Amino acid sequence: MANRSFAYRASFKTVLLAAVLFVITIILIAVGGGKIVEHGAVDYTRQSLGTSMRDVQSVIYETEYTAAAIAMSAEESYRNGAFLDSLRGFSLLDKTLVNNPGFLGCGFYFEPYRYDGINCHSYMYANREPGSNEISHEWGDEEEFLSDGWECYTRDWYYTAVNTGKPSWKSPFLEYFEISDEDKLVSTYSYPMTDADGVVFGIFAIDLYLDWIYDKLVEMRPYSKSNVVIADSSLNVICNPLAEKPFEGSLYDVPFIPQMSLTAVRESGPMNIKELAGNSGSVSVHSGGHGALLVADVMDNGWIICVSSLFEDVFADLISLWLIIIALAFVTLILLFFLNRHTIRKLAAPIKDFATAASKITDGRFDIPIPEVNTGDELTELGNALSFMQKSVTDYIEQLKSTTAEKERLKSELDVARNIQSQMLNRQFPKLEKAGIYADSIPAREVGGDLFDFFVNDNELYFIIGDVSGKGVPAALLMAITIAAFRATGKKGHSPVDIVSLINDTFCRSNDDMMFVTAVVGKIDMNTGLMEFCNAGHNPMLVISPDGHSQYIHAKRNLVCGVMEGFAYEGETYQLQTGGSRLIIYTDGITEAEDRNKALYGEDRLMEWANSQMPSSQNDLQAVDGIVASVRKFTDGAVQNDDITLMSISI
């Protein structure tokens, strides 16, 4: 892209921006459209489900109504003493089968010793083979029940109705038929018959042929690859057209979603078909690169119908629409690129002339003529700005020559000031028999305002550390005055209070800029460890005892030097333990050092460092370097905002 023209790059970025906006729009449309299509698919599936459920339930209702009507007729006869004989009973059963082609059989079954009469039987049953009009009869007498019993008493369709006194459906089962030589799906509906006292004396049962459900489920599929499955309340399959054996198994062990294995469905997440059907809701299942939408409902008799439709069917029309939109957008973006490039190239022609002129100006040809453009828009303003720049650059070069010379002079002066300041700081640390000392100062600029000094006079170690307000050359000058006053008065044997007072008065007499200095001046008797000091508004000194215990020496409140001439400073004394004590004196460049988040190093962190040290384990140089390293680690490369100065004295 580096060698492409401006028109090409502008067109490319315009088309790229349009493509990004288009993709965002498509995503929003896809998400919103997907939700709409999914809701529509659920509604459409639920409508199909409702229609088919009504068809299935109409057969169920017809069976229940027929059984209720015949059972109540038999109850009425029983209560009136008109027993149901064989002729009347089988006639009633035959008419029931003839009028209801979906019934495979029906019959009366009576409790032992509850039904007596001439030509009466303990059970009467009429049945026929599927697809056949020939009806056969079966019956049994009381003696047959008494001798070895009959299996109907042990069948759930019988004892459930007798024990509960309520009609019940038996879970569908496969029954073998000789004529067709195949198993057929059958369900039994049992209706209990009661006497005048409400005691069950028998049941009337109908065997309903259910193979037609297969065709009904295939017919009700909302999409070509959908599957509709019916299961009982225990999720045992009544009919699953997708399975190799449509009338066997359960939803726990037989695949029922197109193109998804049962294992894959389980791994995609827990599915509770009962809960789904109970809430009449829908759920999405994803597995193996496929997705499916499940919709379920519960019939009045407790059977569950579940419809599963693949997303590729549900979203087929929407995907086709997306592809059309994407293809049109792709063609539109290409046309937009070429038309936009042509337009921009024509409009940007003056910019090319401006670029040529600017390039020659940068080569030093400041007299090159600037092309005139009178379009009345930004290009005209650009031409005027370029002409102004040409004149400004010419003037600036002339000014730069004189400014550069002035900066070189100032730089030379700063170098001299820095050298003078460096020489003012006493870096000749003597090897003392009863004490040790080391100090260092790291300026924040070329010339700093912090200071330190020391000397030995009659077995007494004098020291000063201070911080002049401000930075640069003015601070360096005041620093030089402070050090000169310290040396002049200290070597004459004056006390720290006298030294600080002299420094203060000297500052106040010629301090039109209202600058000031904070300082600690002290002297230590190297034999006894007694320290006299005066703190003029400076940071508290830190002392580390030989056993490693640390504490700050909080001084009396004295003014900083340079504020009030003649101020009465107060001095103090502190007894240092000889044989292993260390005194740390520092400026606020230590405690006010900031990290990248503007947090301060602070006195607490300095105390933590001191508590981790034993004075006897290191010399003064190592102590100073250790504190500086601790500060550097805390600031983590942040810009140094103040001079850093500190001194270590060991006794």
Taking only the tens place, the pLDDT of each residue in 445-457 is 766 678 999 999 9
Q: What is the mean pLDDT of the chain?
A: 82
Using pLDDT thresholds of 50, 70 and 90, give the confidence band for residue 1.
very low
- With pLDDT > 90 as the criterion, what percentage of the chain qualifies? 28
CB 644 within 8 A of CB 442: yes
**Model confidence at 44: pLDDT above 80:** no
**Model confidence at 647: pLDDT above 60:** yes
Using pLDDT thresholds of 50, 70 and 90, give the confidence band for residue 383.
low
User: In terms of DSSP H, where are the helices of 80-141?
Assistant: 86-99
The whole-angstrom separation of Cα 64 and Cα 205 is 10
**pLDDT attached to residue 407:** 76
Using pLDDT thresholds of 50, 70 and 90, give the confidence band for residue 376.
low
Using pLDDT thresholds of 50, 70 and 90, give the confidence band for residue 471.
low
pLDDT single digits (tens) 287-300: 666 788 888 888 88
Q: How far is CA 307 from the centre of its chain?
A: 35
**Model confidence at 504: pLDDT above 80:** yes
Q: DSSP string covering 574-632, please?
A: EEPPTTT-EEEEE-HHHHT-B-TT--B-HHHHHHHHHHT--GGGS-HHHHHHHHHHHHH
The tokens describing 633, both together, are: 């680690």
Lowest-pLDDT range, 502-506, 513-517, 604-608?
Answer: 513-517
Using pLDDT thresholds of 50, 70 and 90, give the confidence band for residue 284.
confident
Residue 650, helix vs strand vs coil: strand
**pLDDT attached to residue 118:** 46
**Averaged over 394-404, what is the pLDDT?**
75
**Averaged over 416-445, what is the pLDDT?**
82
- This prediction has a pTM of 0.42
**Model confidence at 477: pLDDT above 60:** yes
pLDDT single digits (tens) 174-199: 777 665 677 778 889 999 999 888 89
pLDDT single digits (tens) 559-581: 999 999 999 999 999 999 998 89
**Model confidence at 92: pLDDT above 70:** yes
- With pLDDT > 70 as the criterion, what percentage of the chain qualifies? 80
pLDDT single digits (tens) 252-264: 888 888 887 776 6
CB 109 within 8 A of CB 203: yes
**Model confidence at 533: pLDDT above 70:** yes
The whole-angstrom separation of Cα 113 and Cα 115 is 6
Relative orientation angle of helices 378-424 and 349-362, to the nearest 10 degrees = 30
333 contact partners, CB below 8 Å, separation of at least 6: 15, 18, 19, 22
